[in-house]
Structure 1
Amino acid sequence: MRSPAEAFDAIERTMWDGRAQAYAASFARLCAYPVGALLDAAEVTAGTYVLDAGTGTGTAAMAARRRGARVRAVDADAGMVAAARAGGVDARVAALPELPFADGEFDAVVANFVLNHVGRPRAALAELRRVLRPGGRLVLTLWSARRGAGQDLLVRACEAGGAVPPAGLPRRDPAEDFARTPEGLAELLEEAAFTAVESTELEWDHRATVEEWWGGAAAGVATIGLVVTSQEPETVVRIRQEYERLSGEFADGGGRLALPHVALLAHARA
């Protein structure tokens, strides 16, 4: 019988399977926003040996390569790895908390919106610390408990359209969870024996067209995608109608939506 953490990981694997292209066409630009700050905090420059853990389509890894860094990358999803490789990234399939690298191999590890997708975040952090050299930098981002209004647009549309959440949504074991605040994330890193921990919030308006923002959910990307694609066709039509109505609140006057988002960024040393 699977543990709650194993069940969480299994649902996450199923949720992302076959959706790399849909993610690249929708939510990937959103998740790319913190990459510059992420690499700055990791002190990534020419010659830095970097691991991009949970690389997705390879955005952070490619940005690190443009800085002259030596980069390796992993992701749990084969489609994401294929997309990253197509961008020139040395990527392989591997899932936290087990990485195919030696102790102390990397100067820096970055994990952009990854910790929210693993069932055992503490074990994941222990593994990331293992592959860092003494004094090496870990930098990660995570969605905050304090949400921007843009983060709830699709959720509000689902509620207004009468969506019924499916039974198979990923739910982390409460014993493995932690406070999604700057303080809560800092405490988690300190508990994992990292030092010089700093954690803060990032706020920005993500710009996307109405179709782009809807496309990720309609293609089943992420938890909101599971909700949308599990509904009866007539419910999906209602959700789309409500989405178009509610999205008017975020029109930027230039044909796009300005969607406020809030995330956490934390960095620490091994």
Structure 2
Amino acid sequence: MTVFDESERLIWAGRGDAYAASFAKLCAYPVEHLLDAAGVGDGTRVLDVGTGTGTVAAAALARGARVTAVDPEPSMLALAARTAPQAELRTALLPELPFESGEFDAVVANFVLNHVGRPRAALEELRRVVRAGGRVAVTIWAKPPAPGQALLGRAIAAGGAVRPPHLPGGLEPDEDFPRDEQGLGALLATGGLGDAACETLSWDHRASPEEWWSAPAGGVASSGQLVRAQTPQVRAAIKRSFDRFSVEFADPDGMLRLPHAALLAHGRR
């Protein structure tokens, strides 16, 4: 396990409920696109890696698929058990999955590769457990981020936050890759997947300012851990910056309309 992986485990420990109340609805947007790209339908044996609250697993079950879902975080699996009670749930952490080679018809990972320290090894493992001719489909956040996605980062920077030692700055240079269509598509191709393709999904996510601020306030993701590591004075400055910048995205009803963009890539073993 890399330093990045260890940090991710600490960041997400016990954050299931806080994630469900904030970012989970945002991350649900690509689900149907992801399942379409993986060819998931009635009777498909599907592995949902990094299931989180179980949104992907539940959507696959609704299509008549036979679903196995894994996540390393117990608080996420507890939520997934309620969201997708018919799925087989197991604890597992990339890049090592407890399954036989070729065990599934389709493997999906929604916003998972951006949380692993060795994305190439993780992708190779996703390929290993899908059958010959089966499909792998993944999503990650695009970089540079869309304006709505950048809101929290802008507020954190404007508030004068200092990154604590337990939060790594990113992947090792030899493990990272461009977070654009060409970069993610090439990652799938070098991982041994044929017919690799990548597209950008763009949408506006609507949330109240209180809901959107609840993520960093609740310590969700690296941004939340960064906010929580600051002094009370700096946290207050970040919140003031958030309130000021949020006005740019406010609809007449007070809800925020936050532009986001994600990459959806898929390929065949």
Tell me the residue number matched to 2:258. Answer: 259
1:107 and 2:93 are equivalent in the alignment = no
CA deviation string 1:51-96 (max 9, x = no partner) = 0001011110011001111000001111111111122132111000
Measured in 2, the distance between the counterparts of 1:7 and 1:220 equals 19
**Alpha-carbon deviation of 1:207?**
0.5
Tell me the residue number matched to 2:171. Answer: 172
**Alpha-carbon deviation of 1:23?**
0.2
Question: Which residue identity lines up with residue 210 of structure 2 in the other structure?
Answer: E
Tell me the residue number matched to 2:117. Answer: 119
- Which of 17, 38, 41 is equivalent to 2:37? 41
Tell me the residue number matched to 2:240. Answer: 241
**Structure 1: gaps spanning 5 or more residues:** none
> Secondary structure, in 3 states, of the residue corresponding to 1:247?
helix
> Secondary structure, in 3 states, of the residue corresponding to 1:244?
helix
- Which of 74, 78, 82 is equivalent to 1:78? 74
- Which of 133, 136, 139 is equivalent to 1:135? 133
Tell me the residue number matched to 1:13. Answer: 9
Tell me the residue number matched to 1:231. Answer: 230
Measured in 2, the distance between the counterparts of 1:135 and 1:192 equals 15
Measured in 2, the distance between the counterparts of 1:208 and 1:90 equals 32
Measured in 1, the distance between the counterparts of 2:192 and 2:25 equals 32
1:54 and 2:50 are equivalent in the alignment = yes
Measured in 2, the distance between the counterparts of 1:162 and 1:190 equals 40
Note the aligned Cα RMSD (angstroms): 1.0
Question: Which residue identity lines up with residue 59 of structure 2 in the other structure?
Answer: A
Tell me the residue number matched to 1:64. Answer: 60
Measured in 1, the distance between the counterparts of 2:145 and 2:160 equals 22
Q: TM-score, normalised by structure 1?
A: 0.96
Tell me the residue number matched to 1:221. Answer: 220
1:212 and 2:211 are equivalent in the alignment = yes
Measured in 1, the distance between the counterparts of 2:211 and 2:99 equals 37
Question: Which residue identity lines up with residue 106 of structure 1 in the other structure?
Answer: F
Question: Which residue identity lines up with residue 219 of structure 1 in the other structure?
Answer: G
> Secondary structure, in 3 states, of the residue corresponding to 2:145?
coil
Tell me the residue number matched to 2:185. Answer: 186
Contact 1:146 1:262 survives alignment (8 Å): no
Deviates more, 1:216-225 or 1:84-93: 84-93
**Structure 2: gaps spanning 5 or more residues:** none
Measured in 2, the distance between the counterparts of 1:68 and 1:161 equals 48
**Alpha-carbon deviation of 1:156?**
1.2
**Alpha-carbon deviation of 1:259?**
0.4
Measured in 2, the distance between the counterparts of 1:207 and 1:32 equals 13
**Alpha-carbon deviation of 1:146?**
2.8
CA deviation string 1:217-240 (max 9, x = no partner) = 111111110111001112111111
Aligned residues: 266
Measured in 2, the distance between the counterparts of 1:242 and 1:6 equals 34
Contact 1:110 1:140 survives alignment (8 Å): yes
Deviates more, 1:14-23 or 1:160-169: 160-169
Measured in 2, the distance between the counterparts of 1:38 and 1:254 equals 31
Question: Which residue identity lines up with residue 268 of structure 1 in the other structure?
Answer: G
The percentage of aligned residue pairs carrying the same residue is 57
- Which of 90, 93, 96 is equivalent to 1:95? 93
CA deviation string 1:75-119 (max 9, x = no partner) = 111111111112213211100011111111100000000001111
Q: TM-score, normalised by structure 2?
A: 0.97
Measured in 2, the distance between the counterparts of 1:145 and 1:241 equals 26
